[in-house]
Homo-oligomer: A and B are copies of this chain.
Amino acid sequence: MSLIDRILDLAALPAGALPEPALAMARFSLFDWLVCGRAGIDEPLSGKLRRLAEEEAGNGTASVFGGAPAPARTAALVNGATSHALDYDDTHFGHVGHPSVAIFPAALAVAEEAGASASAVVEAFLVGAEASVRIGMALGAVHYNRGFHQTATAGAFGATIAAGRILGLSRAEMRAAIGLCATRASGLKSQFGTMGKPYNAGIAASNGVECARLAKLGFTSADDGLAGAQGFLPTHSDAPDPDAGWDRPPPGTFFFEDIKYKLHACCHGTHAMIEALLTARRERPDLSLDSVESLHLRTSPRWLAVCDIKAPRTGLEVKFSYNWLAGMVLSGKDTARDDTYSDALAADPDLAAFAGQVTVEGDAAVTDMQAEGFLKLADGTQLPISHDLGRRLPEAELAAGLRNKSRALLGDDGEILWQGLEGLATLSARDLGRYTGA
């Protein structure tokens, strides 16, 4: 079966056919996305996009993080960028992209306009996210390596499908929407380190709203915008593989179940070590900078060039410093809070002293989602530590981590949001929209 037909089948799955484990993760993603969006409101780029939206004005049918309601296309643009501003949102490693920031803004904006339910938003998001991961896998690593940003490119298709599902597109209309997205989707990695990176998420979301709306209005487009002649895959990948995402996982299972959340406001390459040390502290609450003499860490060699800054000079550099972060965990500092990473922290004498006791070793047998090693305690004993981010967390543990992150970023508002979403089944999309306010 062709990729476009498989994707159209996926887009049309009835709500009852969506796997519950994937839906559960989609609900976590909704919470995490709203937290990241709220936390991004004061970022400079978010204000600039709100300014553009305010100058254009228009029918305010869709909520905007920290701003006045706007037309759906515009709200999606602002919200996509705002929620990706801190780079603290979820990641899928199947194709390597950030699904929530590209897809939720499109689904929510269109759903508010249409008066849909909050559950419809979650279902449309899930279907769009699963489609984006599978399209991203078809584009392949060569697409990413050539310079394209999957969050923006594969993400635009996910946003289109999610928005199209909310609008109730027929199969033919959804095909046209995907065809339009093929000519509209864009996004380059060369934006990394600039406001262009979060902009890419907004681009994807806004493209999704526009393509779905135009298809609903009867726009025609290429029959197969994906793998067809000069479609998105052959033009944007040197080795597209339309079948890549369809032999796994077992039928009835979604790749989306493997979505990963950032629970610490620092480089993803340090998260396995942080989790390993947090587990050790849960088992041995007496562990501290005083009781630990040294840490011996083994990590994937690829991270050594990324997050092994031995003597960070700023709070930003601390985010990329194993030896500093290890001391922070052992001294109980909250690694989930963005404001923990102050420049003063880089000059902390206790952390500096402990940093000298940390040894980091590259080990090709350790994957880039794992951390291995041991602590040597003051009493001479060795305590092994280990963590694998690839392993799924029990739901309760994941919930606790996300709630902790939300409190770290939003204070009490984080908990209010969590409790509000517990009644998701009774909420409308417009109720969700109200949570975008500061």
Contacts and interface: CB of A to CB of B under 8 A. Distances in A.
Interface stretch (A31-39, A188-196, A349-357): A188-196
A195 B173 CA distance: 13
Interface centre among A187, A220, A232 (most CB of B within 10 A): A220
Interface stretch (A176-184, A252-260, A274-282, A420-428): A176-184
Contact of A56 (B73, B188, B200): B73
Interface stretch (A92-100, A159-167, A223-231): A223-231
A228 B179 CA distance: 30
Interface centre among A52, A58, A190 (most CB of B within 10 A): A190
A179 B188 CA distance: 10
A222 interface: yes
Interface string A224-245: 0100111110110000000000
23 contacts: A44-B218, A52-B210, A52-B214, A55-B71, A56-B59, A56-B71, A57-B58, A57-B71, A58-B58, A58-B59, A146-B230, A149-B183, A182-B190, A183-B186, A183-B191, A183-B199, A188-B225, A188-B232, A190-B231, A191-B222, A194-B221, A194-B222, A199-B219
Contact of A189 (B187, B221, B230): B230
A55 to B, nearest CB: 7
Contacts of A231: 147, 188, 190
- The prevalent SS among residues of A at the interface is helix
Contacts of A45: 219
A45 B195 CA distance: 34
Contacts of A235: 146-148, 188, 190
Interface of A: 44-45, 48-49, 51-52, 55-59, 71-74, 146-149, 152, 179-180, 182-191, 194-196, 199-200, 203, 210, 213-214, 217-222, 225, 228-232, 234-235
Given A71-B58, A188-B182, A188-B230, A196 B220 contact: yes
B183 A196 contact: yes
Contacts of A49: 214
Contacts of A146: 230, 234-235
Given A57-B58, A188-B225, 11 more contacts: A45-B219, A52-B214, A57-B71, A149-B183, A182-B191, A183-B190, A183-B196, A185-B186, A190-B229, A196-B219, A199-B214
A147 B230 contact: yes
B234 A220 contact: no
B228 A190 contact: yes
A55 B44 contact: no
A195 B176 CA distance: 10
Q: Which 8 A-B pairs have the closest CB atoms?
A: A58-B58, A147-B230, A56-B71, A186-B186, A190-B230, A147-B235, A48-B217, A196-B221
A184 B184 CA distance: 9
Contacts of A44: 218
A219 B195 contact: yes
A148 B188 CA distance: 16
Contacts of A183: 149, 152, 186-188, 190-191, 196, 199-200, 203
A194 B48 CA distance: 35
Contacts of A199: 180, 183, 214, 219, 221
Given A56-B59, A183-B152, A235-B146, A48 B190 contact: no
